[in-house]
Structure 1
Amino acid sequence: MPDSVRAFAGSVAGRTPHLDVLVNSGAVYIEGADLPDVSDDEIESVMAAGATGTMLLTKHLLPLLRASSRPDIVNMISACGEVGHRRSGAHPAFYAAKHAHAGLAEILSHRLRPEGIRVISLFPPDFVQNGPRRADSDLTARSIIDCVLFAVAQPRDCFIREFRFEQVQRPHH
């Protein structure tokens, strides 16, 4: 993986002198309540993408972000990366990868802010690709994108560190 990440970052650097926005999403969502619900290879893949891959990609694109006049790192973490979150059907490997991603975002926000690099993290619950955008409906991908666009459009002195979302409150039967 490190070789492919370095090659990708080199390819980006060959096309542009700077990068304004890096969006990190990382881990592929997998379901499973119990550790044995998925294969060892699936666990390794989710952890590698969500933790190692995110860190390496950020590391190797950081010079291009530093060359930008308005650099932002946007982290699509997940509510699964919040301490105490237990409402998703995601596999424990996904939870672990997203906690690693949240930890990386936290320290990068602190360390890169003096350079003017904003680190913005989103913690959405499980969401749907499409649907009505109403208070009684699940969060949609479009709503998450709108939050990202809002955050990166803010003036440079505005550091929005996190977006935390509430899940739909379903009536109890």
Structure 2
Amino acid sequence: MNDSTALVTGANKGIGKEIARQLAAAGLTVYVGSRDPERGQRAVDEIGGSARLLILDVTNDQSIAEVARQVEDLDILVNNAGISVDLNPVTETDVDSFRRTYETNVFGIVAVTNAFLPVLRRSARPRIVNISSGTGSLDWSTGPQARFPTTGSLAAYRSSKAALNALTIFYAQALAGEGFKVNALAPGLRKTDLNATAAASGGDPAEAAAGAVRLALLPDDGPTGEFLSWDGTPVPW
């Protein structure tokens, strides 16, 4: 697939930047989606190769429409852009925090994906990768064997990722007959500026990015409608 083209949203830093770098290193043409022009250009310069800058704000319909008109060929869409505005439990999270989080993590995914479906449909091997979170797993968030705190912390972020997981299933079902592979990735805790917890982590973003790249380059007999960890193991919804 080294003649393929990919778009990675939120690719000026963190996991998104590393996904773009690895795809470019594999020989793909990669659009680096960035809301900030200067940061985006720095990322493109650092990635080099076939990286190209796209000024894209996933919360702005006009920005999405303008970018969609610029892209004539696309095989892979990596919905990576995401935010976490606070670490509070649901009982202490205001509605505005939920709105802001969902605007990027849920509504932005729908807006971007739908805008690029026409060009993706022209691809012989269309792939969509949604960067989710293991904290969005309802199974891993409940019961005596829960992997994450059952205090309702990070309520806006975790619930937005649970919603993204549902969207992944719906898109996979709707597009199955057209050859699409649509999957969600749990990247694990990585050292990024997503929030204070992530910033304090020692997790390597490159490791998570490798998992996303595997899903982006899936063969025709690869899975669709699945939630997978960075190492390829299944994650319960």
TM-score range, shorter chain: 0.7 to 0.9
Identity percentage over the alignment? Answer: 23
Cα-to-partner distance string for 1:109-137 (whole Å, 9 max, x where unaligned): 122121011102102332224xxxxxxx9
Task: Say which SS state the counterpart of residue 44 (structure 1) adopts.
Answer: helix
Residue number among 45, 52, 60 corresponding to 1:4 in the alignment: 60
The aligned counterpart of 2:39 is none
Residue number among 114, 118, 124 corresponding to 2:177 in the alignment: 114
With the length of structure 1 as denominator, give the TM-score of the two structures: 0.76
Residue number among 159, 162, 169 corresponding to 2:223 in the alignment: 159
Task: Say which SS state the counterpart of residue 85 (structure 1) adopts.
Answer: helix
RMSD between superposed Cα atoms in Å: 2.8
Unmatched 5+ stretches in structure 2: 1-56, 142-147, 193-200, 232-237
Q: 1:90 to 1:70 in 2, by over 3 A?
A: farther
- Per-residue deviation, 1:142: 0.5
The aligned counterpart of 1:76 is 131
Q: Answer with 78-87 or 115-124: which moved more.
A: 78-87
The amino acid across from 2:223 in the alignment is F
Q: What number of residue pairs does the alignment pair up?
A: 158
Q: 1:99 to 1:3 in 2, by over 3 A?
A: closer
Matches within 5 A, 1:111-150: 111-129=174-192, 139-150=203-214
1:151 and 1:25 mapped to 2: Cα distance? Answer: 13
Q: 1:37 to 1:15 in 2, by over 3 A?
A: same
Task: Say which SS state the counterpart of residue 159 (structure 1) adopts.
Answer: coil
2:101 and 2:153 mapped to 1: Cα distance? Answer: 11
The aligned counterpart of 2:160 is 97
Unmatched 5+ stretches in structure 1: 130-136, 167-173
The aligned counterpart of 1:20 is 75
Q: Answer with 57-66 or 149-158: which moved more.
A: 149-158
- Per-residue deviation, 1:39: 4.4
The amino acid across from 1:147 in the alignment is G
2:218 and 2:60 mapped to 1: Cα distance? Answer: 33
- Per-residue deviation, 1:165: 5.4
Cα-to-partner distance string for 1:52-73 (whole Å, 9 max, x where unaligned): 2211221111111111222111
Q: 1:94 to 1:18 in 2, by over 3 A?
A: same
Q: 1:10 to 1:44 in 2, by over 3 A?
A: closer
Q: Would the aligned equivalents of 1:29 and 1:90 in 2 still touch at CA under 8 Å? A: no
2:109 and 2:191 mapped to 1: Cα distance? Answer: 23
Q: Would the aligned equivalents of 1:20 and 1:71 in 2 still touch at CA under 8 Å? A: yes
If asked which structure has higher relative contact order (CA below 8 Å, sep 6+), I would say 1
The aligned counterpart of 2:113 is 58
Q: Would the aligned equivalents of 1:17 and 1:67 in 2 still touch at CA under 8 Å? A: no
The amino acid across from 2:60 in the alignment is S
With the length of structure 2 as denominator, give the TM-score of the two structures: 0.57
